[in-house]
């Protein structure tokens, strides 16, 4: 794959390859791990783009793929992102695109099975949309793929307390939706997409999302979040976003290495639910 047309980041994306490039990956003795960015298209306050979740997922994947580009033990490529998910919490605002659980389940399963049939069994779901029904569906898809193919699907579950412990206070205190944590990462990854004037004007909206969900709230309106954000987005900075991305890169890299080596690579369900 070391050609001028694939120089820089272009060569890190699976869809930019030719079938001959993919064959060279398959012929290489190093295992191939494919990163699948997952998120939702939905409101993230009046300041952050609808694509906030997949932007974060893709930024994580890109950092890991760059870091492992010449790695002697593994090959990494980034699949086209899945930017639709189970998205009911933001149904009160324009811009949300919801798909049903069974649709997402079938779609993710078919992607993984198709790749496995070509000799590409190692896929990692890189998700940053944490609505419980969505995350639950991801785990169902992972289980189904393992049942159909025998292959473990990698997953970094950021709702787990031990994962949140490596991130910011806002995440540790119960999750973030379009708050300081997520907005900071978008400022670091795609700064031109944040309406910074709107962002700076937003008052704090302190809500522990995990606690609200545990109490039975089914959407952000019920949680008392009238503008589709929680936390303190006005305090977001690109510098904080870079720090968060560095922590996410470390955790995801470890999952990639574990999956490639047959040591696991999949987190079990975390903070919001148990299956």
Residue ranges and CATH numbers for the domains of the chain are 4-172+244-260 (3.40.50.10310)
CA pseudo-torsion sign 211, 239, 33, 103: positive
Write the DSSP string, 14-57. Answer: GGGS-HHHHHHHHHSSSPEEEEEEE-----BTBTB-TTHHHHHH
Tokens of 169: 């206070």
- Nearest one of 136, 137, 113 to 123, comparing CA atoms: 113
pLDDT confidence band for 275 (50 / 70 / 90): very low
pLDDT for the residue 4: 82
Q: What is the pLDDT of residue 3?
A: 55
Q: Which helix (H) or strand (E) holds 75?
A: strand 75-78
177 touches 52 (CB < 8 A): no
**More confident call, 130 vs 268:** 130
Helix, strand, coil share of the chain (percent; to 5): 45, 10, 45
pTM over 0.85: yes
pLDDT in tens, 112-139: 999 999 999 999 999 999 999 999 999 9
- Mean pLDDT lowest among 38-47, 69-78, 93-102, 165-174: 165-174
Sign of the Cα torsion 46, 51, 53, 58 reads: negative
pLDDT in the model for residue 7: 87
Mean pLDDT over all residues of the chain?
95
Q: How far apart (Å, rounded) are the C-alpha atoms in residues 190 and 68?
A: 22
Q: Are 136 and 166 in contact (CB under 8 A)?
A: no
Indicate if the pLDDT at residue 272 is higher than 70: no
pLDDT for position 174: 81
- Indicate the pLDDT class of residue 5, thresholds 50, 70 and 90: confident
């Amino acid at each position: 794959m070391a050609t001028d047309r694939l120089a820089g980041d272009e060569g890190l994306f699976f869809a930019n390859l030719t079938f001959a490039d993919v064959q060279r990956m398959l012929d290489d003795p190093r295992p191939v791990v494919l990163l699948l960015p997952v998120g939702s298209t939905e409101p993230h306050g009046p300041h952050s783009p609808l694509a906030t979740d997949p932007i974060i997922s893709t930024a994580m994947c890109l950092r890991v793929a760059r870091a492992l580009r010449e790695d002697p033990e593994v090959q990494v490529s980034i699949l086209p992102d899945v930017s639709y998910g189970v998205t009911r919490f933001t149904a009160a605002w324009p811009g949300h695109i919801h798909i049903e659980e069974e649709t997402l389940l079938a779609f993710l399963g078919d992607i993984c099975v198709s790749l496995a049939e070509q000799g590409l069994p190692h896929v990692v779901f890189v998700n940053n949309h944490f609505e419980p029904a969505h995350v639950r569906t991801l785990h169902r898809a992972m289980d189904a793929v393992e049942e159909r193919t025998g292959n473990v699907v990698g997953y970094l579950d950021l709702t787990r307390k031990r994962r949140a412990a490596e991130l910011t206070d806002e995440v540790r205190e119960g999750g973030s939706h379009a708050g300081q944590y997520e907005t900071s990462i978008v400022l670091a990854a795609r700064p031109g997409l944040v309406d910074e004037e709107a962002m700076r004007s937003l008052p704090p909206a302190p809500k522990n999302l995990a606690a609200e969900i545990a109490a039975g709230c089914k959407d952000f309106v019920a949680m008392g979040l009238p503008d589709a954000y929680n936390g303190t987005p006005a305090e977001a900075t690109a510098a904080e976003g870079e720090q968060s991305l560095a922590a996410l890169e470390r955790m995801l890299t470890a999952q990639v290495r574990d999956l490639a080596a047959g040591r696991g690579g999949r987190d079990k369900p975390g903070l919001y639910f148990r299956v």
